[in-house]
Structure 1
Amino acid sequence: MSTFPTEVPALRTAVDDQARHVRSLKEAKTAKEALQPEILRLQQLKTALEAAIAAEAANAPKNVLADQRRSLEDLLKRRFVVGQAFEIYGGVAGLFDYGPPGAAMKDALISLWRQHFILEEGLLEIECTCLTPDPVLRASGHVERFTDFMVRDTVTHECYRADKLLAEHVTARALPNETNPTRKARLEQLVHDVDTYSQTELGAALKEAGVVSDAGNQVSEPFPFNLMFATQIGPSGLIPGFLRPETAQGIFVNFRRLLDYAGGKLPFGAATIGQAFRNEIAPRSGLLRVREFTLAEIEFFVHPSREGRHHSKFGSIRDLKVPLLTKKAQETEGDDTVIMAIGDAISQGIIDNETLGYFIGRTALFLKAAGLADSRTHGPTPQDSAFRFRQHRSTEMAHYANDCWDAEIWTSYGWVECVGIADRSCFDLGRHSEKSGSELVAYERFDEPKDIEVTVFKFDRQGLGMALKKLAKPAIEFLEATSDDARKAYAAELESKGFITIRVKPEADKKKKKDDPESAEEPQEVDVQVPKQYVTIATETKRIHGQTFTPSVIEPSFGLGRILYSLLEHAYYVRGGEDEARAVLSLSPLIAPYKVALLPLSANDAFSAILGEIRRSLSAVGVSCKVDDSGSSVGRRYARSDEIGIPFAVTVDFQSIENRTATIRERDTCTQIRVPIAEIAKLCYDLSNGNVMWADARATYPEQQQSASDSVGRKE
């Protein structure tokens, strides 16, 4: 086998060169026997690159070690950013409580999301109930299809999510011990395709990889497990329901009210923020896979035509470059991410339409505003980009979706899906219209009347009544109520088969219902065949001034808990020497739990009045602060505020009494400036909201030299 470079930059170049070589061979339609060795070499190069990156990370400075996750989680627990729910009773897997800093961070993230999307885009925000009746989720498909595949340990009966167990087993057990290149490439392929497997394919993959449970026992064949929490609504228990697995259905079932509120015009968008619940099989990965979580979802309703998917503000993000992992790259070339302008991606047919592309761009800007950079400066593993947009492969795409992208963030757990952005076509409103009997449609008024050709059915009512009995009337009503497109389809079926099959509900027995209304059963829907001899198909010209249609929907869905945890991983680092190493959460001021730490230099009573004055002025302009007047040194109190991500610290000292000034310290550089007390609130407000940068503040106000005890190290 050919030798490969050992340095990461050289390996990256080799991977890029080999990928281009493979693409050129494919374009030239090279014979399979000649192409296969080149593809194998590409896979081997990628494996070598991953190994080199891992080796580089292992030898990197302490603040970028892969095991920093454990240190971060210790910090989050120690400072009660988050904690295991019901811990005094042993805890419950997949359930977490947010402590004061965590709740404040989450609230800040929600506020940023609301500002960035709801206010900026003029969305209609609603709040809907978490309890959802069975018919709603049956119509949406959740009752039948909202499942994961599960396996059980055949000895202990412990449950595992089958795809995660396969990926973990191959990554942690099989790959490190595999020396055969062909076998290794096959194992890597199993992990790569794990999200696309059917139940049968997943069972075969588990056997092929020799997957066993954590206890080393054989596991069962995979079987579907519905992830929804079932319940009963009302004291009788006769109304089955579920805790909602997503928040979107509340928007769909309120569509008519929202359309009316929007003045009957499309496009318009609705948004909702709230709790969702999924009964995860085996919650792992800390805060990334939980059973109760917060979603922020948008349903943006557009005309179903391609022209209807143009977006009036698309020009604002047309030239924005984002990292894209296309389905073509995943299916034919590997996991090669490209940086591309959104406008170019649409013109090349990579992203399906402008509205979908617009929300991909707005999502990228939101993630950057929250604190995710284009490149990593510290973290568990160095990566070219902190996040990427991965397109669903053909095997992942829902049958009703035109296109779908996931915003994935790099963490110590690998790439984690945090946002889904999908063009769901007319599926949701169509299903709820069909199942509820309510027309969830919009109306388009034409500038000028149009003459259109329509298909009409004319019935031999007497003959059909004799043939179908009580089913004749509901069959005629059903066919007369269908859309023109549906009538055309039925007409084609009538011509080809000699009959059409529809599903209708027979008329109730009026006499029985009148005589004994309580015992009269509601008729059930049945299939009925309408013979051709009783139906005449005609085409008529009809002048219309407008038309009704079922809108399509673009749906961006944000997992706020996953985004927050990813931000914490990206923000976490350790500075200082081993004897005085101190953890820091370098959070964006927009996400920080408190914007300012207020510190008196000591316990001197003379500082109290000034401290209270500054606190009140900060509160008046909406800047949150945390007072730390403990007896610890100022340096230790700085460290405590750094640990929970507070970006600025205001210290009142003896000079504050003399000339009514105080120092402001910035968390990441550890530099300080001295500012008049009267100007502190406005400056902190501007710094916290990004109106003024710290470098500008340092240029405006005199710098304050600090003692060695005030800080350990700095991040320049």
Structure 2
Amino acid sequence: MAPEMTTLKGKAFDRASLESLMRRRMFYTPSFDIYGGVSGLYDYGPPGSALTNNIIDVWRKHFVLRENMLEVDCTMLTPHDVLKTSGHVDKFADWMCKDPKTGEIFRADHLVEEVLEARIKGDKEARGEKVEVEEEDPKKKKKKVKNIAVVKLDDAVRDEYKEVLNKIDNYNGEELGRLMKEYDIRNPANNSELTPPVAFNLMFQTSIGPSSNLPGYLRPETAQGQFLNFAKLLEFNQQQMPFASASIGKSFRNEISPRQGLLRVREFLMAEIEHFVDPSGGKKHPYFDEVKDVELELLNRDVQLSGKADVDTTTIGKAVETGLVDNETLGYFLARIQLFLLKIGVDPKKIRFRQHMANEMAHYAADCWDAELLTSYGWIECVGCADRSAYDLSVHMKKTGAPLVVREPRKEPLKIEEWQCDLDKKKFGPKFKKDGKTVEAAIESLSQDIREKLSLDLQKDGKITIDVPGVGDGKVEVPKELITIEKRTRVENVREYTPNVIEPSFGIGRIFYALCEHSYWTREQDEARGVLSFPPTVAPTKVLIVPLSSHGDFKPFVRKLTNKLQDAGVSNRVDDSGASIGKRYSRNDELGTPLGITIDFQSVKDNTFTLRDRDSTEQVRGSLDEIVAAISSLVEGREKWADISKRLPKFEGQEEGVGPS
């Protein structure tokens, strides 16, 4: 159940106002709008594109540059066999149910969540319960009202609903179907009963090539391209472990019922990291000490399974030490994820890390946590961070035979005593003929314990019997003339292992939307116009240049400022319209522009300018070089406005206002 959202000013959050602003100012717009649009598809306008690019720029600096990651850009088209091997063809699905009367499709877990939350909030029509209805009286040819009392929820039922909501991510299809029956969950629009949940694969299927004989999919994640290039990346990295690859690009999921704006879409931007680590070292991280004191809000799986949502505030060092978080490398990235989110302006009070429960987590995963951000839609998963063990490299290696392993010289040779099987190939082939390779493969796969037992059988009976499915009756006898089983010492000078993978996966669009919600507020004196308090590092446009009027004396200064800022790599725009300065600044506050430069008649006289801070509306004055230096420092995150206002003299402007608390 979503807690009540508040703005930076402490008022109740108005989602409709924010979304109206974002569409009106073209942060985003429905794709194919003039054709009626397609649900789950959106285009980003100039400010939306700039904000996205700036988030990605900070992401690259924070992760790729800081960690010396190897960035790759892989194709979005993926052959069927790759995603069959990875498990996506068989398992990448959500549970959907259908209204047989209207054909409307619902995602089952979201419907259960939506209806129970609505009941708790007292929305009668969404309860699926009987409410006031109007029906036509055929004799009198007019509508009459039939009043039926609505049973209100008692505390026990409300608590039961909350417990279900806290465990919603742990239910499978059968369990969701049981909940729908138990709580009489129907189509909220018409109260129709729905079909039981069935699995729906989320991938977009296509075919590659003109003959359409190579089936494929639009990728559901960027990870597989990184796994398939592992051997080449290891060679590029001069065989050094550990290392990380990174990829930024579009992924595609055919969402069942996208109904939450930018949060649930069918085409989205991902930024993913695959950190390859030696599992034998306990998955330690060399820089873990740098982040061990970072405090996180952790919601562990045991608390969720008890039907609660209480978080534990603890340092990542303690969480790893107690085993709550599985290992140092996973913990290191959880801390770094939080530091990134704070850097781009996410509200620190609206971040938590939720541990995956049993039904959510893949069978091969050692541990998995989601960074969730609180929005008006509730807690939304924006970053997943999973320990995927060695699964991905192992399955692709088994399928293709490609050596997706690390080979490194041992400091000391390793002596291994083992039972070895030797075959007389000249006699073995004629004996088993077409089944020879199958029988040989079965012998090679025998465990050491079984080989030891068979060596005794060979001495005693002069033959061994092994299981070979598909050959004869499944049992095959091999006489001693064809096989020798002896215990020998083997010396290994090279260690070979399959790395484990820690994978942080970022949904950039979800982070984009949550950041907008966290940054949105209105001024007391102008509640009709919103403000987006993006940090200067990610704001779409950093500086608004405002000449006092269209007077010709101001034009050379506009050009001079524009050139100076562009040379410093600072995005800016000029507003020389006839509107008042206050109105010009106000409409750019809606775009999140953090800084403004006013050119007035004093600028013409002494080459000084005023610099305005968006949130406080305070202004300082300085020379061209002082103003540009201050802007560069703010944009690069070296200083905050408080530092600038101490260094440069304040200027009493025409505006008054108070920024966010």
TM-score by length of 1: 0.83
1:236 aligns to what SS in structure 2? coil
What residue identity is the alignment partner of 1:568? C
The corresponding residue for 2:145 is none
**1:628 Cα deviation (Å)?**
1.1
The answer to whether residue 199 in structure 2 is matched with residue 224 in structure 1 is yes
3-state SS of paired residue (2:369) = strand
Map 1:392-471 → 2, pairs under 5 A: 392-459=356-423, 465=429, 468-471=432-435
Which of these residues, 38, 43, 48, is aligned with residue 97 of structure 1?
43
Which of 233, 236, 254 aligns to 1:279? It is 254
Q: CA deviation at 1:604?
A: 1.1
**Percent identical:** 43
CA distance in 2, matches of 1:309, 1:436: 27
Note closer, same or farther for the CA distance 1:260–1:631 as it changes in structure 2 (3 Å cut).
same
Displacement of 1:532 after TM fit? 7.0
Residue correspondence of structure 1 range 168-207 to structure 2 within 5 A:
168-173=114-119, 176=122, 178-207=152-181
Change (3 A) 1:170 1:576: same
CA distance in 2, matches of 1:192, 1:503: 48
Whole-Å separation in 2 of the counterparts to 1:260 and 1:141: 27
> What do residues 171-211 of structure 1 show as CA deviations (whole Å, max 9, x unaligned)?
11367364233333332222222221222111111111111
Cα pair 2:595 2:611 within 8 Å, conserved? yes
- Name structure 2 gaps, 5 residues minimum: 123-150, 458-463
Q: 1:215 maps to what in 2?
A: 190
For the Cα contact (< 8 Å) 2:8–2:518, is it kept in 1? no
Give the corresponding residue for 1:683: 630
Any idea what the Cα deviations from partners look like across 1:407-434, whole Å, max 9, x if unmatched? 0001111100011111110100001001
What does 1:230-309 correspond to in 2, within 5 Å? Answer: 230-305=205-280, 307-309=281-283
- 2:96 is equivalent to residue 129 of structure 1: no
Determine the C-alpha separation between the residues in 2 that align with 1:396 and 1:180.
Answer: 31
Structure 2 counterpart of 1:119, which letter?
L
Q: 1:632 to 1:175 in 2, by over 3 A?
A: closer
Query: Is the 2:419–2:452 Cα contact (8 Å) retained in structure 1?
Result: no
**TM-score normalised by structure 2 residue count:** 0.89
The aligned residue for residue 715 of structure 1 is 660
Q: Which residue of 1 aligns with 2:134?
A: none
1:514 corresponds to which residue? none
Alpha-carbon offset, residue 582 of structure 1: 2.6
Of 336, 340, 347, 2:314 maps to 340
1:246, CA displacement in angstroms? 0.2
The one-character-per-residue Cα deviations of 1:499-546 (angstroms, maximum 9, x if unpaired) are 345689xxxxxxxxxxxxxxxxxxxxx996655767665432111112
- What secondary structure is seen at the aligned counterpart in 1 of 2:576? coil
Amino acid at match of 1:572: Y
- Which structure's relative contact order is higher, taking Cα pairs within 8 Å and 6+ residues apart? 2
Amino acid at match of 2:77: L
Residues 370-418 of structure 1: CA distance to partner in whole angstroms, max 9, x if unpaired? 11232xxxxxxxxxx2101111123322110111110000111110001
Contact 2:295 2:313 in 1 (8 A): yes
What does residue range 596-611 of structure 1 map to in structure 2 within 5 Å? 596-611=543-558
**Secondary structure, counterpart of 1:64 in structure 2:** coil
Aligned pairs for 1:619-634 within 5 A: 619-634=566-581
| Cα separation, partners in 2 of 1:77 and 1:531, compared to 1, 3 Å | farther
Q: Secondary structure at the match of 1:232?
A: strand
2:135 aligned residue? none
Residue aligning to 1:564? 512
Provide the secondary structure at the position in 2 that maps to 1:371. Answer: coil
2:521–2:530 CA contact under 8 A, matched in 1: yes
For the residues of structure 2 that align with 1:64 and 1:533, how far apart are their CA atoms?
Answer: 85
Instruction: Assess if the C-alpha contact under 8 Å between 1:621 and 1:682 holds in 2.
Output: no
Matching residue of 2:355 = 391
The correspondence of residues 565-580 of structure 1 with structure 2, limited to 5 A, is 565-577=513-525
AA aligned to 2:325 is: I
Aligned equivalent of 2:146: none
Please state how far the C-alpha of 1:341 moved relative to its aligned partner: 0.9
Given candidates 57, 65, 68, the residue that maps to 1:119 is 65
In the TM superposition, residue 554 of structure 1 has moved relative to its aligned partner by 0.5
User: Does the alignment pair 1:499 with 2:434?
Assistant: no
The answer on whether the counterparts of 1:143 and 1:226 sit within 8 Å (CA) in structure 2 is yes
Number of the residue aligned with 1:660: 607
CA drift of 1:444 comes to: 2.4
SS at 2:352 equivalent: strand
**Structure 1 residues not aligned, in runs of 5+:** 1-46, 375-384, 505-525
Match status 1:164 vs 2:110: yes
Residues 8 and 521, structure 2, Cα contact 8 Å, conserved in 1: no
Q: Distance in 1 between matches of 2:220 and 2:367?
A: 22
Structure (1/2) with the larger helix percentage = 1
Contact persistence 2:173–2:197 (CA under 8 A): yes
State the SS of the aligned residue for 2:192. Answer: coil
Query: Residues of 2 paired with 1:528 and 1:431: CA distance?
Result: 26
Amino acid at match of 2:381: E
Structure 1 contact 278–292 (Cα < 8 Å) conserved: yes
Q: Which amino acid aligns with 2:466?
A: F
Inter-partner Cα distance in structure 1 for 2:83 and 2:404 = 17
Q: CA deviation at 1:326?
A: 1.2
Root-mean-square deviation (Å): 2.6
Q: Classify 1:543/1:502 alpha carbon distance in 2 versus 1 (closer, same or farther; 3 Å).
A: farther
Q: Which of 677, 684, 705 is the equivalent residue of 2:652?
A: 705
